Amino acid sequence: MNLDLRSSEWCNLLDLSPDNTVVVLGEPPAGAEEGLKRFFSSVTVYQDSKKPGILKLLSRILPEGSGPVLILVILDMPEDSEELIEEMMNYSRLFADIILFNKDTRVFNELNKLFRFKEYAIVPSINDPRWILPLENRKLSVASLDLYQPSLAGAKLKKIILRVLLNLGLSNLLPVSRFYHFYSKGREGDKRLKGRIKRHLGIDEIHLALSTGTPPVGRKVTAQVMNREGEILGYARISPNPDVYDLFQNEKDCLDYLNSIRIENFLVPKALDLGELGKARYLFQSIPSEKLDRGPADLEDIHINSLVELFNKTSKPVKIEDSKVLNDISARLQLIKGNIEDSKLRLLNEGLESVKSKLINETPRLGLVHGDFTPWNTRMCEGKLYIFDWEWVRRDAPPFQDLYHFDISRFVFVKHLTPNAIWEILQGRQFQKLLQDYRGMTKVPQEVENIALIWTLLDDITWYLSGYIREGLPVPETHEFIDVYFNLLIMAKILEPR
């Protein structure tokens, strides 16, 4: 396991003050140094670890009498590293924290003499270091696996193996990488994030398991908050991205609203705290006190009933030209202009004009949609659907959008179906029956249903493509998710009612 862009972003959760100086020993992959600089004011990469002297140099430029101010990230150590280890020990007073990847027994033993440490397992999603699980005690480690909710069969099997080994106390046999966080004696570690959450909950001790998120657009770190016995107390999400700040505020406003009205068919979290955390912002949410089970992987009546209630209790007549969702699509099209093929841009513009022309001079009922309604954003709790991750909520969106998003997402990311196969399912008897049930309970007029799929595809495609531009990244020429959506948009436009 090496330091990559993701691990540089979750390093800030280990009580690493943004005012401290980060020293990286070894060569980080592309993007990692930039990731660290998003959190810390000073980052020094020292690739030539065979030549000690960096710590001696830093000690001379630091203020005289300064306390522990350095964060040392050790990626690799040369075989003949005795001189460098000796230098580390001589200047150990400077270290606030040390992060050790690729465990080196010599370094570990020396650091263990002077510092306390915490051990973490790194669980990949395919090859990415996605989940960070604490290995402090058996109950805590097992509970941390609740954050790890894989969709693929191989990953599910891996989770079963991890759970068995942790329950047996055999964490040393885990088939995963790990890293070690050393911190000065007298410090508890994790003070910045933990301190804020502890103050909010009014308790003295909490522990974290981490998910590093899904790249590249709108990624954020999620921390599962637990006590020492493994009881889950809530979830915190953290990001240094200003765009994500707005999403956190959007989610908090939505959760406050949903908790203020009487919801009967489904459950949502409560937004407990929103604020700044160093150079980032975070949102802390509650979790039901009852046990959470895995949600259904397929679209069922429980989803329909939940979405019907959401629409019926939040919808209102909106002039089509006043729809913020539709206007956002128009703005995104201007942003991505020149960054995608002309034929694709033309298809998107034609789709938008088609939606507008079908609803011109109309005031359809539009309402709340989750925006990312998927199997992995839902769980079961006491017979009800528990729906979380509301950051992409839309307030004047068309009905049916969450239904389409749920099935298309799992067909693309889990089952990897072709556009033709997905289209056949969407037009098939089972899915059409669900749409009919939804339509009957919401009284949605036919002209709105006719354009709902095109509207959904436009919203998802333009959000994702514009996200690359907002992140300062090149728009990919091809992408599994986007390519499928473009093909579905072509089919929907060909077969749309005239």
Name the residue ranges covered by the structural domains of the chain: 5-285, 293-495
Tokens 């307030």 sit at which residue?
395
Assign 3-class secondary structure to 373-424: CCHHHEEEECCEEEECCCCCCEEEECCCHHHHHHHHHHHHHCCCCCHHHHHH
b/e 91-115 (16+ beta carbons within 10 angstroms → b): bbebbbbbbbbbebeebeebbeeeb
Coil/strand/helix, residue 483: helix
Alpha helices in 168-236 (DSSP H): 191-201
Alpha helices in 237-341 (DSSP H): 242-260, 301-314, 324-336
Q: Which of 100-114, 209-223, 332-346, 469-483 has the highest mean pLDDT?
A: 332-346
Comparison of pLDDT for 18 and 450, the residue scoring more:
450
Alpha carbon distance 46, 398 (integer Å): 53
Summarised one tens digit per residue, pLDDT across range 253-281 is 999 999 999 899 999 999 999 988 777 78
Summarised one tens digit per residue, pLDDT across range 336-383 is 998 999 999 999 999 999 999 988 888 899 999 999 999 999 999 999
Query: Which amino acid makes up residue 34?
Result: E
Percent of the chain with pLDDT over 90: 39
Q: How many helices (H) and strands (E) does the chain have?
A: 17, 19
Tokens 């959000």 sit at which residue?
463
Alpha carbon distance 340, 343 (integer Å): 8
Residue 34 has pLDDT above 90, yes or no: no
Structure tokens at 50: 């065979």
pLDDT band at residue 476 under the 50/70/90 scheme: confident
| Torsion-angle region of 65 (φ positive above 0: left; ψ -120 to 50: alpha; else: beta) | left
- Give the architecture-level CATH label for domain 293-495: Alpha-Beta Complex (3.90)
Residue 9's pLDDT is 63
Beta bridge mates, 239: 281
**What average pLDDT does this structure show over 454-464?**
93
Burial of 480 by CB count in 10 Å (0-12 exposed, 13-18 middle, 19+ buried)? exposed
Structure tokens at 267: 């459950």
Residue 61's pLDDT is 64
Return the minimum-mean-pLDDT range out of 66-70, 453-457, 472-476. 66-70
Query: Which DSSP symbol is given to 20?
Result: S
Residue 103 has pLDDT above 80, yes or no: no
C-beta separation of 281 from 244 below 8 A: yes
114 contacts: CB under 8 Å, gap ≥ 6:
89, 92, 185
Query: Which amino acid makes up residue 383?
Result: G
pTM: 0.86
Alpha carbon distance 380, 367 (integer Å): 24
